[in-house]
Copies of this chain bind each other. A is one copy, B any other.
Amino acid sequence: MGATGPVHEALAALPLVDHHCHGVVTADLDRDGFESLLTEGEPWPGISPFDTPAGVAVRRHCAPLLDLPRHAAADAYLARRAELGVREVNRRFLAAAGTEVFCVDTGYTPHPITTPGELAETADGTAYEVVRLESVAEAVAAEGIEPDAYATAFRTAAEEAVRRSGAVAVKSVAAYRTGFDLDPARPADALVTEAARLWMAEGGRLADPVLIRHLLWTAVDLGLPLQIHTGFGDNDIRLHRVDPTHLTDWLHLSKGTIPVLLLHCWPYQRQAAYLAAVFEQVYLDVGLTLHHVGPARSRAILAEALEITPFRKLLYSSDAYGLAEFYRLGALAFRQGLGDLLQDRVDADELSLPDALRIAAWTAGDNARRLYGLPATEPAPSPAPPAAPAPAPESRQPRD
């Protein structure tokens, strides 16, 4: 931890492409509000979410950006955060993240959060949308459509959502609804109609196995890269059912169509790596996990994720939601963890420095740019080194 070298320096200067993230809250937060966003868990009476690896990382790595000492107490942290106000806090952490491009899932909005445009403006970056397909399906159902019109209406609505937003990808949260132990085949029309009829009669969120696999196949028809939540999340997940290897049969059937991005993956990062190694269309990230484990463990998790993953198939994401701190922490944990990993291999002569720098550039952004067809880099507003649009983030961090 904390080692530095040429790879760390390169990663510090590389603007990130955060290929899966969410908005940050736009209102000031009280202690309960902040703490509930700090954890994927339920409230633990008598236990503060600050007493977690993520809480420790916030106090260590975010406090200095609010002009506080490292390891500031939670109370002092929250008081200073309130004093500065949410706009300034968001600005500081997003600037420190050093992220140039955001691919924003706009389908999860339990709190008032920034739009992609607001996020991009705050960060002085560029935002693209990611359309969450379950939200589209639920909006279609909420309009009171006939069951036999559901399939067409859903696809049309998804196409329209993509067109309207210029989305670069779609996303599924099948992990939260059924898990992946599904019949992998495209369901017949009559089956979809019957399942839609039952769902609309019962109401509630989309969680029918037939409709979920229909949704995955609709993603294939849409032709955009598909992001799939796998692994870690809140307690709505049955973790053993979201091991991404349960998608193997579907990956065989959908081969040759769309890229599939396995999001998060922890604790199944090795399983995800296996899929990325053996299926042409599979990519992965270890987002969400990185800010929860913090820099102290990001290297260990990246090392597992990279055991067999082809280097052009690992992407960066923060999966930040709500707290701008997570943009800061995700980026830091990624740069520190990957930097430590690659630099140590260079130092042991297992990897050449040029190779390490190439791998760093690929995972920090080039892999995502290639996959989503993003422009190579944002035009610099003025003569400056390549990373200029997002100022080299590490140089902004007080080191002590």
In the complex, the answer to whether A345 meets B248 with C-beta atoms within 8 Å is: no
A53 contacts across to B, CB distance below 8 A = 306-309
Copies per assembly: 3
In the complex, the answer to whether B56 meets A279 with C-beta atoms within 8 Å is: no
In the complex, the answer to whether B297 meets A47 with C-beta atoms within 8 Å is: no
Q: Which of A44-67 contact B (CB under 8 A)?
A: 44-47, 49, 51-54, 56-57, 60
Q: How close is A232's CB to chain B, nearest CB, in angstroms?
A: 6
Q: Given A71-B355, A270-B266, A348-B2, verify A51-B280 contact (CB < 8 Å).
A: no
Say which one of A13-21, A35-43, A130-138 lies at the interface with B: A35-43
A9 contacts across to B, CB distance below 8 A = none
A140 at interface, CB cutoff 8 A: no
Q: Which of A293-327 contact B (CB under 8 A)?
A: 293-297, 300-301, 303, 306-313
Number of interface residues of A (CB under 8 A): 73
Q: How close is A41's CB to chain B, nearest CB, in angstroms?
A: 4
Q: Given A53-B306, A274-B267, verify A246-B235 contact (CB < 8 Å).
A: no
Q: Quick one: which of B41, B60, B238, B370 contacts A280, CB cutoff 8 A? A: B41
Q: Quick one: which of B47, B246, B279 contacts A313, CB cutoff 8 A? A: B47
A185 at interface, CB cutoff 8 A: no
Q: How close is A163's CB to chain B, nearest CB, in angstroms?
A: 27
In the complex, the answer to whether A350 meets B52 with C-beta atoms within 8 Å is: no
Q: What residue of chain B has the Cβ atom nearest to residue A44's Cβ?
A: B280
Q: In the complex the two chains form, what is the Cα distance from A400 to B267 in whole Å? A: 38
Q: How close is A260's CB to chain B, nearest CB, in angstroms?
A: 13
A292 contacts across to B, CB distance below 8 A = 277, 307-308
Q: Quick one: which of B49, B246, B352 contacts A240, CB cutoff 8 A? A: B246
A351 at interface, CB cutoff 8 A: yes
Q: Quick one: which of B267, B280, B303 contacts A300, CB cutoff 8 A? A: B303
Q: In the complex the two chains form, what is the Cα distance from A54 to B351 in whole Å? A: 11
Enumerate 25 A-B pairs (CB-CB under 8 Å) in ascending A order.
A2-B350, A40-B277, A41-B278, A41-B310, A44-B310, A45-B280, A47-B313, A51-B311, A51-B312, A52-B308, A53-B308, A53-B309, A60-B352, A71-B355, A235-B252, A235-B279, A238-B248, A239-B245, A240-B271, A267-B270, A289-B308, A293-B308, A296-B345, A296-B350, A297-B303
Interfacial residues, chain A to chain B (CB-CB below 8 A): 1-2, 39-47, 49, 51-54, 56-57, 60, 70-71, 232, 234-235, 237-240, 243, 245-246, 248-249, 251-252, 266-267, 270-271, 274-275, 277-280, 289, 292-297, 300-301, 303, 306-313, 344-345, 348-352, 355, 370, 400
Known: A42-B279, A71-B351. 4 other contacts (CB 8 A): A41-B279, A60-B352, A240-B243, A297-B303
